[in-house]
Chains A and B, each alone.
Chain A
């Protein structure tokens, strides 16, 4: 640990020199373009000269204080999204209603073939809501002035992944993003970690809501016989009146009752959310973490109830995690204490800092970047802004070898393309569908690790062809769900002018000589100026330069 501190002090001391060297290598335009690619979802036309003129470092500092950035235009757009008008209980009620309808329809149906579940109203409605919700993420990423904030929302959504198609997470996820992730995306890591641990969406996704101390029985279960059906009294022809049936209902209710600890959340908390897979914990640690979280549950999950601590389910004996003793009998406080311990553990600082450096600097992040971030984490007690500031002020962020070193993720590609042509996405899920087609559907990564930060996960032949198709459709104004106004960006001119403007405004001046030649050849036979412009823009956005950031 001592060495690390000394090293980071050394790094700090060297920083100004190394930064100065980099600024010599990157022109103000290049620096602005780089920062807009990494801290934002790519530049809109005009952004690069604007940021370059105002100074890239002041722009970065402004992005680090999103609450001071006016974002009224986005707020106006957000009002078009119905999903934001619904609370999670509303969504749960709609879901239950649709489920009941579906069941009744099936009971009545005597069809030979079961309807394709994908076409059933329940799936359609779920898909429509998930679609609007996914599209909201795209609209925010594309239109928000608080670009870094939106990038961080995506980062944490992925880090604290939940899967929207798992049971109650269909209606819990929107609330999770709005009220758990978004308010804390630029705050303290510890607060974010505790909020996710208490969130119904995470409790459901990683099964902790069903994790109980072995042998514990909920008070309600003992009342099953007395009140068989939610307080409804048995009627004359009520099947519940039949004692045998009543017994079987009770038996089934008891069978369904959770019978012991579930290690799922405990394991992912250590492995993915905090310490990392090499974070030095043991299987016994996982078990004791699970015991600490017994009783962290949800009040009526099928109705999207809130977090609830079930003291009857809590394991009251002593636990040990990472050599730290947790005296029994402290109920929820044990979990809070553990989360604080984990949030400020050196392995966590390293694991999460490394992931941030992967996201912002390089798929294989330089050690110096990680060390800078860890040092800032330690100084600031895990203030996410300070960790980010250290990364953006560090020399590695600006090193020439890290510029354009990353390939855009599907989301980054789609949003940066939309921004490049000043496109206005509507509330339809079309753009979200493009992101899905490119391989990373929003909120639909099934495993708790979230989408990987490395390019091998999304660069493949099928997805590349789909990027080209999306680019061509976008430039031709044929991508549904989005309005493109090329006129305001690229005026119609001769081939050389066209290529020059597209290079400057869309590719940040990175267009290769080969690309220029290919574009010239392609333009040779085209007389219609609008068609020529669409072709050049489509090829530029679908081409290799635009895939990088």
Chain B
């Protein structure tokens, strides 16, 4: 058997439903030369904090009096901060992540962001997803370009999955990717399982017999995915180690990601959105709006790592956001659009227990345009490091066109 798609190797029984291999299918499968075991099992999970998270209240520079001076109403009081290294600390509602810091599998990158100065959510999100700050006409996202250029990695319908109703820009492009809103509902919909199976079989036969070109290849992938999920029976999944995912979209997305990882269906890149960070008004400090969002994030990430247990050895979770917020609080006890923010990386391969990146300081003279945290790490250097050192990507310049990723500038998020 020359077909080396991960699905067939990993779950041999599934080969039963493969049929009628046409030349196009073989051409696609030819990408699937099996690479050495280790990078192929590695997984990157990206969480997009859409709306611009306030990096300064997420990873708090509690050692700097300017932080307290500029934020009289919304600074997290020293006594509440979960200290990390004497200068920075976690927002108290992220305390669930402290054990990961202690075990050196959590790092934060501060003062990270886009080289483009825009303070528009629209533009900045666009640049974060396209991976080409300042260039609007890029039609695909950087995670998709990674999938395009490292195609020797096994090809499965679940290689790159966005958890949400629509494919986000970061995963849009010519490499096959999947948007899954609900694992249980993925596939043909019918009132009863029998009717569902029957309908699935009917369409499968229609496409096997009469589809040509890309329709043929895509339909085959679709029915492969449906069949795999059916065997997985996502409705029966119970998180391991009493992991307690918070209710809501983020908890559900991470639970489903964990499920696909546990099921060994070849998931390599997962993506989910987390909204609610645009805290212009009544942001709060130890408690309040931002605290609520961070609490959910911390609880979800803690549950995810607990659920995956040993499997976290191969997994890196990245949080990212389009920009940070003003150093000084505004007139509505909130913060306005700023420049650099903080991102988190956690997982087995992470060089943890550190706040990475060059800290520019909060003094007005050190700020970007005298108001925001300056960017000292281009987000592409962080993303490139994760793709290269974690997922084993080789052609970084194709993934970030117009940018020369340089290992010397990598923030050092991945160990060894």
A interface vs B, CB < 8 Å?
103, 106-107, 109-118, 163, 165-167, 206, 255, 264, 267-268, 271-272, 407, 436-437, 439, 441, 446-449, 452, 455-457, 459-462, 464-465, 468-469, 472-473, 512, 514-515, 517-518, 522, 539, 542-545, 547-548
Contact = CB atoms under 8 A, between A and B. Distances in A.
Interface stretch (B36-44, B213-221, B381-389, B403-411): B213-221
B147 interface: no
23 contacts: A110-B282, A112-B289, A112-B291, A113-B276, A114-B279, A114-B290, A116-B275, A271-B137, A407-B214, A439-B167, A446-B169, A452-B139, A455-B214, A460-B177, A461-B178, A465-B222, A469-B189, A472-B189, A512-B210, A518-B205, A518-B206, A543-B210, A544-B207
Contact of A165 (B122, B157, B189, B276): B122
A477 to B, nearest CB: 15
A272 B210 contact: no
Contacts of B180: 462
Contact of A163 (B122, B216, B275, B292): B122
A546 B188 CA distance: 18
Interface residues of B, number: 62
Given A114-B276, A460-B177, A472-B190, 14 more contacts: A107-B282, A111-B289, A114-B290, A117-B278, A267-B136, A439-B167, A449-B137, A460-B178, A460-B221, A462-B179, A462-B186, A472-B189, A543-B206, A543-B207
A117 B275 contact: yes
A448 to B, nearest CB: 6
Interface in B95-153: 120, 122, 126, 130, 136-139
B188 A469 contact: yes
Given A167-B122, A464-B215, A437 B177 contact: no
A472 B126 contact: no
B210 A465 contact: no
Contacts, number: 155
Contacts of A107: 281-282, 332
Contacts of A468: 188, 199, 203
A397 B174 CA distance: 27
Nearest to B211: A544
A464 B157 CA distance: 13
Nearest to B277: A114
B65 interface: no
A456 B139 CA distance: 13
B322 to A, nearest CB: 13
A472 B209 contact: no
Contacts of A457: 174
Nearest to B288: A112
Contact of B222 (A271, A462, A545): A462
Given A167-B122, A439-B167, A460-B178, A116 B276 contact: yes
Nearest to A167: B122
Tell which of B198, B226, B281, B287 has the most Cβ of chain A within 10 Å: B281
Interface string B169-201: 100001011111000001111100000001100
A447 B279 CA distance: 26
Contacts of A449: 137, 139
B306 interface: no
Contacts of A112: 287-289, 291-292
A407 B130 CA distance: 26
B214 A436 contact: no
Nearest to B118: A207
A447 B275 contact: no
Contacts of A167: 120, 122
A109 B282 contact: yes
Contacts of A268: 136-137
Given A272-B137, A456-B174, A456-B214, A106 B282 contact: yes
